[in-house]
């Protein structure tokens, strides 16, 4: 099997497809979180002003949520890559030997 046959194999193509599909889904979630937040603080300031606790506004909670949410997204990516992507890579590396 030549290197070209290998990269043209269904299994390799599946690895590439899975990798980018997952990445773009994660990027889309990041966009929704960040720009959703920006949309609220720019266009719907009254939503950000809702009180959710004693002198704690929804805006403050959302701001914290965007930071924590971005962090969690990177952790999800690491867990996914360790458990899904790396397993596929290992299996492909075995085929190559």
Partner 1 sequence: MQSTLGQPNGTAILFFVLVVILTLIITYFAAKKTKTTSEFYAAGRSVTGFQNGLALAGDYMSAASFLGISGMVALSGYDGAIYAVGWLVGWPALMFLIAEPLRNLGKYTFADVVASRLKSGPIRIASAVGGLLVVLCYTIAQMVGSGKLIQLMFGMPYEMAEIIVGVVMLLYVLFGGMLATTWVQIIKAVLLVFGVTVLTVLALAKFDFSISNLYTEVVTMYPADNMLNPGGLVKSPLDTLSLGLALMFGLLGLPHILMRFFTVPDAKEARKSVAYATTFIGYFYLVIPIVGFAAAVLIGKEPIKAIDAGGNMAAPALAELLGGTPFLGFIAAVAFATILAVVAGLTLAASSAMSHDIYVSVFKKGHATEEEQVKVARMSVVIFGIVAVALGILFKGQNVAFLVGLAFAIAASANFPALFLSIIWKKMTTQGAVWSILSGGLCATVLIILSPTVWVNILGNETAIFPMKNPAVFSMPLAFIVAILVSLMSPEPEAQEKFEDDKIRTYLGIGAE
Note the residues at the interface with partner 1 (CB under 8 A). 3-4, 6-7, 12, 15-16, 19-20, 23-24, 26-27, 30, 34-35, 37-39, 41-43, 45, 48-49, 53-57, 59-60, 63-64, 66-68, 70-71, 73-75, 77-78, 81-82, 86, 89, 92-93, 96
φ, ψ at 30 (rounded to 5°): -60, -45
Query: How far is Cα 81 from Cα 27, in angstroms, rounded to an integer?
Result: 15
Q: How far is the CB of 53 from partner 1 (least distance, A)?
A: 6
Instruction: Identify whether the C-beta of residue 58 lies closer than 8 Å to the C-beta of residue 48.
Output: yes
Q: How far is the CB of 10 from partner 1 (least distance, A)?
A: 14
Q: Where are the beta strands (DSSP E) in 1-97?
A: 51-53, 56-57
φ, ψ at 55 (rounded to 5°): 60, 20
The structure tokens 């002003």 sit at 49
Residue closer to partner 1 (CB basis): 10 or 68: 68
Q: How far is the CB of 77 from partner 1 (least distance, A)?
A: 5
């Amino acid at each position: 099997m030549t290197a070209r046959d290998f990269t043209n194999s269904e299994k390799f193509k599946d690895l590439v497809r899975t990798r980018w599909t997952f990445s773009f889904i994660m990027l889309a979630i990041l966009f929704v979180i960040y720009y959703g937040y920006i949309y609220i603080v720019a266009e719907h300031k009254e939503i950000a002003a809702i009180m959710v606790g004693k002198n704690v506004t929804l805006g403050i909670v959302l701001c914290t949520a965007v930071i924590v949410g971005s962090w969690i997204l990177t952790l999800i990516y690491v867990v996914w890559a360790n458990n899904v992507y790396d397993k596929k890579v290992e299996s492909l590396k075995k085929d190559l030997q």
